[in-house]
A and B are shown apart, each in its own frame.
Chain A
Amino acid sequence: MITIENLEKSFQFGSGEDKVLDQVNLSLNSGEITALNGVSGSGKSTLLTIIAGLQNATNGKIVVDGVELTNLKESELRQRRASQFGFIFQQSHLIPFLSVKDQLAFMIETAGRKWSRKEREEKIDAMLEAVDMMKHKDSNPNNLSGGEKQRVAIARALIHEPEVLFADEVTASLDSKRSTQVMEIIRNIAQTRKITVLMVTHDEDMLQYADRVVTMKDRKIIDA
């Protein structure tokens, strides 16, 4: 369970200040897929990255399973991102010099999972099966198509079995067929593993994969 209370975020520019989020209140229920939509520039990505501990809020409180994120040190936030969170971005942002399976292995190591070698290999294989990338196990990311890269990114975001998945416009660079495929994979894995998902999208077609849809408007969340 993640609760966001009275969250505010302002950006400084020159002598002025631009308030992007104002008194945002939201709670994400465990095991539920929440879609966050709204027009471009409404602050969706800003909200997602603040909840994920990637940037600081100006004001307000974020509580993840009883722990207030705003009180944590940078190293504790990092630790939490590594072990409890998974990330998928608009660009796949794969590590260019690691093969598909090594991307996943590296994430397992980063999350500090103490799995045996056998366990690790089984989990990597199962995950690559789930995203239908088994045949590209040893491929180099540069040789993959956009949709394939994004499926590897999903696998990387979930391989360490995080509790929360943050997904920002993950289908924006894919055609509708690929987008559907990617969203179905995310939903299937999230549901079987009871992962809390916050997905940002401004594609109406993607909203059907969410358990709940909230909208950003005028710096606030409506219909939360």
Chain B
Amino acid sequence: MKIAIQEILKNKLRYSILGIIILLIAFLTLAISGLARGLSYDNASLILDMPEGTFYMEEAAEDKHNFSAISDVQINNLNDAHDNMTLMSIQMGEVEDSSGQAHSLVFVTSEGHEIFPKAAQNELLLDGSLQDEGIQSGEEVSTRLISDNLTVSGFTEQQTYSHSPAAFIHPNDFSELVQSDASQIVFVEDEAAAIDGLTAYSNDEFLNTLPSFSSEQMSLNMITYFLYAISGLLFAIFFYMINVQKLTTFGILKAVGVKTITLFKMMWTQMILITIIALGIAVGISQLLVMVMPDAIPFQLTWEVTLFTSAVFMIIGFIGATLSGIQISKVEPMYAINQGGA
């Protein structure tokens, strides 16, 4: 589509402005997506890093894992339906280190199929952020509801739940902590089965039971959707204005026998070209941002998110341009011939 490129080269300023605006919007979208993902990871990397599967909690707990207690009968039923179950429980809490300083964290224990690191009895495996807070490997820490002191046996990388660092603990210690032997959650890497008295959740559904998770994500996702909508409108308005100026030319082209689809292809080529260049630069800048962002700011931009965002921009640009191109299909050769101009 040489003619499409020739037109862009002839009207460099006009198309550059569109390109720059698309670039800025795409960059903003990527930055916010990165922030959304970073924040969600900061919130619940423990769950986000799990494989896709099904979570079960007691129906009566109404989405709150700390009210859930899965009975032995239900465990047996689950065992019939699935292989490789992981029984897990989560409890918010606090430990005091040897210098008496308190650290809030979340105790996590698991049995069965191994997904999480396991701690031996009377030991704790802590998220790395607690090391930054000054806790050392081998240090003895205490927590109110467990009589014995617990020894820190090591640290894990980025394991958080509800914005708190995870502390992996032995099931026996956990039972002492919560005064209960029942597991709250059963996870399987499998499709959901119907089990009496249990509710099944997909990974996303389970994440949304975390109150802070859904509200954080919702507001950031809203912004992203708005940016998508703005970029679509921008394409529509921009090509609408350009097309209005070119209506006479389009009519003349039709008069001399150019197919309407050729005119559309010309516009699509321009849209795709500008979007690719703008996206390319926006992706470049956002990847640079990933590198220079200080660790304190939760920012995570995966290639999947980048590719997804780029694809959405392409599709929306295409729809926007095509809608505004309806005028192209409407213009009659006679309208153009009777019109003045070049």
Q: Check B10 for interface membership: any CB of A closer than 8 A.
A: yes
Q: Mark A105-132, 1 if CB is under 8 A from B, else 0.
A: 0110011000000000000000000000
Known: A49-B334, A91-B341, A149-B342. A97 touches B255 (CB 8 A): no
Contact A91–B3 (Cβ < 8 Å): no
Q: Give the docked Cα–Cα distance between A110 and B252 (Å).
A: 13
Q: Give the docked Cα–Cα distance between A97 and B8 (Å).
A: 9
Contact B3–A106 (Cβ < 8 Å): yes
Q: Mark A81-123, 1 if CB is under 8 A from B, else 0.
A: 1110101010111111110001000110011000000000000
Q: Mark B321-342, 1 if CB is under 8 A from A, else 0.
A: 0000000000001101101111
Residues in A neighbouring B7, C-beta threshold 8 A: 97
Q: Check B248 for interface membership: any CB of A closer than 8 A.
A: yes
B3, B333, B334, B342: which contacts A94 (Cβ < 8 A)? B342
Q: Which of B6, B249, B256 has the most CB of A within 10 A?
A: B256
Residues in A neighbouring B76, C-beta threshold 8 A: none
Could you tell me the distance in whole angstroms from the C-beta of B99 to the nearest C-beta in chain A?
74
Contact B6–A91 (Cβ < 8 Å): no
Contact A81–B256 (Cβ < 8 Å): yes
Q: Which of A93, A110, A156 has the most CB of B within 10 A?
A: A93
B259 (CB) vs chain A CBs: closest residue: A78
Taking chain B's interface residues, is the majority helix, strand, or loop, or is none over half, making it mixed? helix
Residues in A neighbouring B341, C-beta threshold 8 A: 91, 93
Chain B residues touching A, range:
20 to 34
Q: Give the docked Cα–Cα distance between A93 and B342 (Å).
A: 5
Residues in B neighbouring A142, C-beta threshold 8 A: 342
Residues in B neighbouring A10, C-beta threshold 8 A: none
Contact A102–B337 (Cβ < 8 Å): no
Q: Give the docked Cα–Cα distance between A221 and B195 (Å).
A: 90
Q: Give the docked Cα–Cα distance between A93 and B337 (Å).
A: 8
Q: Give the docked Cα–Cα distance between A55 and B257 (Å).
A: 13
Contact B342–A87 (Cβ < 8 Å): no
Could you tell me the distance in whole angstroms from the C-beta of B213 to the nearest C-beta in chain A?
52
Could you tell me the distance in whole angstroms from the C-beta of B259 to the nearest C-beta in chain A?
7
Residues in A neighbouring B337, C-beta threshold 8 A: 49, 54, 89, 93, 168
Could you tell me the distance in whole angstroms from the C-beta of A34 to the nearest C-beta in chain B?
20
Q: Check A141 for interface membership: any CB of B closer than 8 A.
A: yes
Residues in A neighbouring B334, C-beta threshold 8 A: 49, 54-55
Known: A98-B3, A142-B342. A93 touches B257 (CB 8 A): no
Known: A55-B334, A97-B6, A106-B3. A83 touches B342 (CB 8 A): no
Contact A83–B257 (Cβ < 8 Å): yes
Contact A111–B257 (Cβ < 8 Å): yes
B257 (CB) vs chain A CBs: closest residue: A82
Residues in A neighbouring B3, C-beta threshold 8 A: 98, 102, 106
Q: Which residues of B come within 8 Å of A, CB atoms?
A: 2-3, 6-7, 10-11, 248-249, 252-259, 262, 333-334, 336-337, 339-342
Q: List 16 A-B contacts (CB under 8 A).
A: A54-B334, A81-B255, A82-B256, A82-B257, A85-B257, A91-B342, A93-B252, A96-B249, A97-B7, A97-B10, A98-B3, A98-B6, A102-B3, A140-B10, A141-B342, A156-B256
Q: Which residues of A come within 8 Å of B, CB atoms?
A: 49, 54-55, 78-83, 85, 87, 89, 91-98, 102, 106-107, 110-111, 140-142, 149, 156, 168
The 6 closest A-B pairs by CB, nearest first: A82-B257, A97-B10, A81-B257, A97-B7, A93-B252, A54-B333
